[in-house]
Amino acid sequence: MVKASQAGDMVAFEELVARHRDKIYARAYSMMRNEEDAIDLSQEAWVKGWQRLKQFQGESSFGTWMTRIVINLCLDQLRKHKRQRTESIEEMNEDSGGVERQMPVVTVNPTAGLERGELRQRIDRALGQLSHEHRTALVLHEFQELEYKEIAKVMGCSIGTVMSRLFYARRKMAALLADLKRENSK
């Protein structure tokens, strides 16, 4: 299918889009937290994918190659957004460092016993409360399964910053999920 697409077969390419479209859209959605942006960016990624198909050497799976394209597009978009808005208080707190160091450890599993749909909903809400830098670090590590150095390269920061962002994101997620559990049990 990939070979046929590389040869210019658009029917084969449409089949590739059909096979991977959910995954590419899901990655865009995880990063953007917005359905409309995720649809637009995932479509843009497919257009770019078609134009760069000849560069695909098969070193990774086609799906992984495509997710890299959509991640880069999302990062560009998020950087543009960031330039347009002032930093939130949340981000300033995170950058000044230390908040996550003092967070109490969540001892009870906040997602235990949840149905898949409900779990997804809570994670969705918690992810939405992270800054895009923290969310991106988490997405690249947990979903794209990149190593620290690869994340650093993609995000244009040091490995130390990746470690801090990842640690903050995880601890914040744990705290947010615990809060949601408390809210729901009231």
Partner 1 sequence: MIDYKDQLKLQSYLDGELAESDSREVADWLARNPEAAALKTELDQTRKALSGFEDGIKLPESREFYWSKIRREIQRQEAPAPPRPSEPWLYRLRRFLVPATGLAVVGLLVLTVTRDTGSFDASVETALEDSGAFTYHDDTAGATLVWLSYPADNEIPDDDDLNSVD
Triad 152, 124, 128: Cα angle to 5°:
60
105 binds partner 1 (CB under 8 A): yes
174 binds partner 1 (CB under 8 A): yes
CA distance 31 to 60: 21
Triad 73, 76, 80: Cα angle to 5°:
140
Which residues contact residue 17 at a Cβ distance below 8 angstroms, ignoring those fewer than 6 apart? 46
129 binds partner 1 (CB under 8 A): no
What single letter denotes the amino acid at residue 160? Answer: G
Q: Using CB under 8 A, which of 3, 7, 9, 10 touches partner 1? A: 10
The region that residue 55 occupies, defined by phi over 0 for left and psi between -120 and 50 for alpha, beta otherwise, is alpha
Q: Using CB under 8 A, which of 62, 90, 163, 179 touches partner 1? A: 163
* Alpha carbon distances (Å) from 172 to 126, 133, 178: 8, 13, 10
79 binds partner 1 (CB under 8 A): no
Q: Other CB atoms closer than 10 Å to residue 10's CB: what's the count?
A: 10
| Residue 83: CB minimum distance to partner 1, A | 26
Q: Using CB under 8 A, which of 134, 141, 152, 180 touches partner 1? A: 141
Joined together, the tokens standing for residue 72 give 């880069």
Triad 128, 74, 163: Cα angle to 5°:
65
167 binds partner 1 (CB under 8 A): yes
120 binds partner 1 (CB under 8 A): yes
* Closer residue to partner 1 (CB): 2 or 119: 119
55 binds partner 1 (CB under 8 A): no
* Closer residue to partner 1 (CB): 95 or 124: 124
148 binds partner 1 (CB under 8 A): yes
The site for partner 1 (CB under 8 A) is made up of 10, 14, 17-18, 21-23, 25-27, 29-30, 35, 39, 42-44, 46-47, 50-51, 98, 101-102, 105-107, 109-111, 116-117, 119-120, 123-124, 138, 141-143, 147-148, 163-164, 166-167, 170-171, 173-174, 177
